[in-house]
Each structure stands twice: as structure tokens, then as C-alpha cells.
Amino acid sequence: MTPKTQRDGAPAIEHSGEGPVGSFAARKLGELRDTRIHSINHAQGATVRGTMATSAGVDTDHEVLVRLYTAMVRIRVIEEEIALRYPEGKMRCPVHLSIGQEAVPVAVSSVLRPDDQVVSTHRCHAHYLAKGGDLKAMLGELYGKATGCCGGRGGSMHLFDPAAGVLLSEPIVGSSIPVGVGAALGFRQQGRDSVCVVYLGDASIEEGVFHESANFAAVHNLAVIFVCENNLYSVYTHIRDRQPSRPITAVATGHGIESEHVDGNDVEAVQAAAISAVRRARTRGGPTFLLCDTYRWREHCGPNYDNEIGYRTQAEFERWKEFDPIKRLRDRLILTGSRDEQQERQTLDAIAREVEEAFLAADAAPFPSGETIGMGLYA
């Protein structure tokens, strides 16, 4: 089958049977011309307002785009640093890196409030960081240290940060989905207008619990946004071997849930869809399912590339790498004159300093005391 072409020529999901989403993105961003949007800069804890406009670069609020860009770069740098240092043997837990998939969580979190919650999966680093999860607590957890978000009890697949609105992450596929829906039920019962984002991968819609959760969210019109990152593979198994050829979005609409399909490597397109979804959720318009096409660059679990082991091709990887969400936005920022070499260096230097400091802190932090192992089983 000839790959379909998405906006900017990104390879579409051959399997899904869904058409190009470029028209959607253009339309969505067109709708947003001059729309005042709310964006949270978690890093500074400040609320900023910006003007979003078309993806053609006209009237775009550079500040918002630069913030999205910086957040993606920061996650990329952190993940690459993990990959680099992993062979040292100090991070002794499985790691599921988000490199290549940064756009979705950055875009989604950019339109969330601190009191909004997200729940995540085994591949939770980017979701956690984008929502403002504490970097030192994350790295401390990977190093198995007392300073980790779980004090070394969870490892990389259990990242959470209640203060930032990262409710929890669970490594069992589908396991966190109903928990996120339950948080939204709690918000409804408490009369709050907070929303809960449920991150899930393409394989989790094969789990019964997804359907149970989607059904319940729809019946009760809950403020849930299911954000499905379709990276084509469940470990090494392609989606074509796991699901029939039908639009994934149809699974959600079959549950009576509004659904949108976006290019998950186009941070602006995802943000535009997330804006609509959040608005719907906050105004009791019900849940939304966002299908975001993206691609995992590294191996399923671990720091390496694995294109040579036979489940995917180097050519496929190279094709997707062309649609690196960070590169795409950087090119656009440079094209529109809102980014120069010096700014790029300043951004990278600032991130590098933060990341270096966080790794040093994690490495230097104490391990949890063995005496605490049985403590805190019950509240």
C-alpha cells in the first residue's frame, strides 16, 4: 500500500484507513485565528495569554509557539540524556522513552490548568514533564532514590506528581484509563470544572477496560479527554496485526464520543484539537477522543535504536524522522523570523543546565533506607 500523505507530507497511518488530516488541521487552526487562548507555562508557574492563528504563520503568536517548542526540546534533551547515561547502569529500571512523541503531551498540557489531571502509561516521561511534573523527582525515581516521586517504589513507569496534576501512571496497558475516568467522575460529583486527560496508546483500545471506560464516560458525559497516541507498534507488533482496517476514531464514535484525528507530530494541530476538547469537557459537553499519529524513535523499552532487529524498517524510521515535531516547528519558527541561532543556543543552554543539575542531583541523592520497605502499606 502506498503511504498516504498527511499535512507536510508526514506518512499517514497506512493501516487505519483514515484520510489525510491536513485539511482538518488547517481548518482547525483557521477557526482559531484571533482566538484568545489560555496557555499555562508550568515551568514558570505563570499563566500567559497568547493569540493563536493559522498554521501558515500569519498572525501566529510567537510566544506561544516558542513555549511549545521549548517544552518539546526540553523533553527531548531529558530523554536523550537518559539514553546516554542509561548504560552507566545507575538507572536500574525499565525506561520507555518518548523521543519522537513530544508534540502530543506538550500541546495537550499547554491548554490544561494545574488542577486538571492527567493519567499515563508505561511511556509516561513526556506526559509527566509536559504537565509540569518535577524533573528531579522523575530522575530520582529512575535512579531508585529516596528523592524519586515514589521514593524508589515505582520506577519509571509509575511517575506521578499530584501538585502538577499528574495523577498517576500505570504500566499495565489500559489500567490507568478507568482511573482517569474516575477522577472526572469525582470532579463532577464535587462540582468542579477540572478535566482529566487519559493518555493511551493504540494497543490499549484493544483492552476491554478501554471500552468499559469510554462507555461510562459517555453515559455520564464526563470531562475526559482520551488522547490516543498511535505510534503503530505494540512493542514489536504492528497495528495491522492487532486491529482490523477501520478508522480508530470510529471505535470512539461507536461509544458516542466526539472524536478527532490529528497529525500527532504537528504540535499546533494537536493544540488546536485539545483546545476544542478542553472547551467541550469544561462546559459539560462530554468526553473527546483525540487520535494522534506519531512514531516512537527508539526501542520499545531501553535507550537504543532497534530498526535492525526486523519488526520495522530503517526506511520507515527515516521517513517518520523527517516529520520530527521539533524540527518541523523549528523550521517554521526560523522561516517566520521568530527564531535565530542565538535564541536557539540560549534555549538549549538553559535546558542543558537544568538537566545536568537534575541528573547530578539524582546521582548524588541517597537511596531509600531498607528499613522503610514495609512501611506505609496502609494509610
Interface positions with other proteins (CB under 8 A): 117, 119, 149-151, 153-154, 158, 160, 162, 167-168, 170, 172, 175-187, 189-190, 196, 208-209, 211-213, 215-216, 219, 376-379
Give the closest residue to 24 by CA, choosing from 36, 11, 7.
7
Using CA atoms, how far residue 1 sits from 13, 14, 239, 265, 295, in Å, is 11, 7, 15, 22, 19
DSSP 232: S
Q: Which is nearer to other proteins, 1 or 377 (CB)?
A: 377
Q: Tell me how far, at minimum, the Cβ of 185 lies from other proteins, in Å.
A: 5
Q: Tell me how far, at minimum, the Cβ of 285 lies from other proteins, in Å.
A: 19
Q: Which is nearer to other proteins, 178 or 264 (CB)?
A: 178
Q: Tell me how far, at minimum, the Cβ of 162 lies from other proteins, in Å.
A: 6
Strands, E assignment, the chain: 35-41, 46-52, 117-120, 166-169, 196-201, 224-230, 233-234, 237-238, 258-263, 288-293
Q: What is the DSSP string of 299-336?
A: -SSSSS--TTSSSS-HHHHHHHHTT-HHHHHHHHHHHT
Q: Which is nearer to other proteins, 37 or 257 (CB)?
A: 257
Calculate the dihedral angle through the C-alpha atoms of 365, 71, 37, 5, rounding to the nearest 10 degrees.
-140
Q: Which is nearer to other proteins, 228 or 262 (CB)?
A: 228
Q: Which is nearer to other proteins, 226 or 297 (CB)?
A: 226
Q: Tell me how far, at minimum, the Cβ of 161 lies from other proteins, in Å.
A: 10
Q: Which is nearer to other proteins, 12 or 185 (CB)?
A: 185
Q: Tell me how far, at minimum, the Cβ of 193 lies from other proteins, in Å.
A: 13
Q: Which is nearer to other proteins, 66 or 150 (CB)?
A: 150
Q: How many CB atoms lie within 10 A of CB 235?
A: 10
Strands 224-230 and 237-238: unpaired
Using CA atoms, how far residue 156 sits from 20, 115, 267, 286, in Å, is 35, 23, 25, 32
Q: Tell me how far, at minimum, the Cβ of 153 lies from other proteins, in Å.
A: 5
- Which residue's C-alpha cell is 461510562? 216
Q: Tell me how far, at minimum, the Cβ of 181 lies from other proteins, in Å.
A: 5
